[in-house]
């Protein structure tokens, strides 16, 4: 029997089930950050009905989940959706959104949901990967702070050079009305937060755990100071532990919150490059600070400058140019400079591009399964990719495949 209509799966409905804010809070505990299937269900049904579907029972059976099921079609998709619902139901016993909100309120925190005046609009660019809500601890208005901001990120194992540059850039940014966003970690993150605090803030720390937990433990005092002058933010509810997956998905929030991202110091395989990739996928301006050519700690920055066309940032004035360039047209690459097919694509179109075979065509329904996206969304992406010369119909019109690599730029 499908998990979509398991009879009797829901006990007596708690009082909060019809409250959209509390339903979003519940959703943030039921699902893991960045789960594309969860994002599709939430976007299709809304928070109240999405939670009802997970809880099961007659109300879930009557819900329009069939429409959400269009995001994956066929028997395999039904099994995937059933498996997801079972995965989310494992946490039903732990869902007490009223308690979570009360825990945060006792610490002076608050819950933000889309539509709130304080909600940072940049997160909406994440589409179905946007968080259901934000748990916030701190005095600063998150939306206002993020409106003109820069993410300063980099390696935990940084050098004295990286620490100094991060602190200087953060202080210079704050002096000129630009908020600093980072991840509260050791190394470059900590230097960026401290530099912003030294200049009077504000700064936003985006955590991979609940905002009531201190991680890393050595940053208890620092995070308390961030909350006083800015805000500590998370998409997972109070008490949630940091995990590797949550750290990876946290990067997308940092990239989406900030007006621009600057990687200050990063090794060749630094996690900060993941934040840079997310920022580029969101079409946010990307910068990198050069380091000594002999320093392995700056190899990742040099890689961004060489391969990702990141802007070279050496001082606050250049950082401000990057932040204030939001919304301006990006220059075309010089003639002869190779451009990757995925440069400038939004995350959805990139996923469809990745799903396209290079030789024989594949039908839209099959591409939807591979990409993990609704059929309608895949169709829209194929139209855009076709206009860019990246996708084409195969012979006979029976499917889609990658087009021969185009030459872009002058």
Residues 108 and 86 in one domain: no
Residues 30 and 179 in one domain: no
Would you place residue 328 in the very low, low, confident or very high pLDDT band (cuts 50, 70, 90)? very low
Is pLDDT at 280 greater than 60 in this prediction? Answer: yes
Domain enclosing residue 88, as ranges: 7-95
Q: Which of 54, 72, 95 is the last residue of a domain?
A: 95
For residues 336 and 124, which has the higher predicted lDDT (pLDDT)? 124
Residues 53 and 118 in one domain: no
Residue where the block lists tokens 């708690």? 14
State the total domains in the chain. Answer: 3
Residue 309 makes CB contacts below 8 A (sequence gap 6+) with 333, 343
Q: Is residue 247 part of a domain?
A: yes
How far is residue 187's CA from residue 181's CA, in Å, rounded to a whole number? Answer: 14
Q: Is residue 186 part of a domain?
A: yes
Would you place residue 398 in the very low, low, confident or very high pLDDT band (cuts 50, 70, 90)? low
Cβ atoms of 179 and 202 closer than 8 Å:
yes
pLDDT tens readout for residues 207-254: 999 999 999 999 999 999 999 999 999 999 999 999 989 999 999 999
Is pLDDT at 408 greater than 60 in this prediction? Answer: no
Q: Is residue 410 part of a domain?
A: no
Residues 209 and 312 in one domain: yes
How far is residue 123's CA from residue 129's CA, in Å, rounded to a whole number? Answer: 9
CATH of the domain at 365: 1.10.10.10
Residues 138 and 220 in one domain: yes
Q: Is residue 156 part of a domain?
A: yes
- Phi then psi for 177, rounded to 5 degrees? 80, 20
Is pLDDT at 62 greater than 70 in this prediction? Answer: no
pLDDT of residue 47: 94
Pairing of strands 179-182, 149-154: parallel
Q: What rounded mean pLDDT belongs to the chain?
A: 85
How far is residue 19's CA from residue 51's CA, in Å, rounded to a whole number? Answer: 11
Q: Is residue 314 part of a domain?
A: yes
Residues 296 and 386 in one domain: no
Residues 351 and 217 in one domain: no
Q: Is residue 12 part of a domain?
A: yes
Q: Is residue 185 part of a domain?
A: yes
Pairing of strands 311-312, 286-288: parallel
Q: Is residue 407 part of a domain?
A: no
How far is residue 10's CA from residue 56's CA, in Å, rounded to a whole number? Answer: 5
- Phi then psi for 132, rounded to 5 degrees? -70, -30
pLDDT of residue 179: 98
């Amino acid at each position: 029997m499908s998990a979509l209509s398991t009879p009797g799966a829901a006990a007596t409905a708690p009082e909060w089930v019809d409250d959209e804010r509390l339903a979003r809070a519940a959703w943030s505990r039921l699902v893991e950050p960045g789960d594309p299937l969860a994002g599709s269900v939430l976007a299709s049904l809304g928070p109240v009905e999405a939670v009802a579907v997970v809880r099961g029972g007659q109300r879930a059976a009557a819900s329009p989940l069939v429409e959400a099921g269009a995001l994956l079609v066929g028997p395999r998709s039904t099994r995937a959706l059933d498996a997801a619902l079972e995965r989310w139901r494992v946490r039903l016993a732990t869902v007490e959104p009223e308690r979570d909100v009360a825990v945060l309120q006792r610490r002076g925190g608050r819950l933000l949901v889309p539509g709130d005046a304080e909600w940072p609009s940049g997160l909406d660019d994440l589409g179905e990967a946007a968080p259901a809500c934000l748990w916030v601890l701190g005095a600063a208005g998150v939306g206002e702070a993020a409106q003109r901001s820069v993410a300063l990120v980099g390696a935990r194992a940084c050098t004295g050079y990286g620490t100094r540059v991060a602190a200087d850039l953060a202080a210079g940014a704050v002096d000129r009305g630009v908020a600093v966003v980072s991840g509260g970690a050791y190394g470059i993150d900590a230097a960026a937060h401290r530099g912003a605090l030294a200049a009077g803030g504000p700064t936003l720390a985006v955590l991979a755990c609940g905002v009531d937990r201190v991680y890393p433990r050595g940053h208890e005092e620092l995070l308390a100071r961030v909350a006083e002058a800015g805000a500590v933010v998370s998409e997972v509810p109070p008490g949630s532990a940091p995990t590797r997956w949550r750290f990876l998905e946290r990067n997308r929030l940092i990239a989406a919150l900030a007006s621009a991202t600057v990687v200050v110091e990063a090794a060749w395989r630094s996690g900060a490059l993941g934040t840079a990739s997310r920022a580029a996928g969101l079409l946010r301006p990307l910068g990198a600070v050069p380091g000594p050519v002999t320093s392995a700690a700056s190899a990742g920055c040099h890689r961004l400058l060489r391969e990702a066309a990141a802007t070279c940032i050496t001082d606050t004035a250049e950082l401000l140019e990057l932040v204030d360039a939001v919304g301006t047209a990006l220059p075309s690459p010089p003639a002869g400079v190779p451009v990757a097919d995925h440069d400038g694509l939004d995350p959805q179109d990139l996923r469809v591009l990745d799903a396209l075979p290079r030789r024989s065509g594949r039908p839209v329904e099959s591409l939807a399964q591979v990409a993990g996206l609704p059929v309608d969304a895949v169709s829209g992406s194929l139209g855009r990719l076709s206009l860019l010369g990246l996708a084409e119909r195969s012979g006979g019109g029976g499917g889609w495949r990658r087009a021969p690599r185009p030459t872009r730029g002058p």
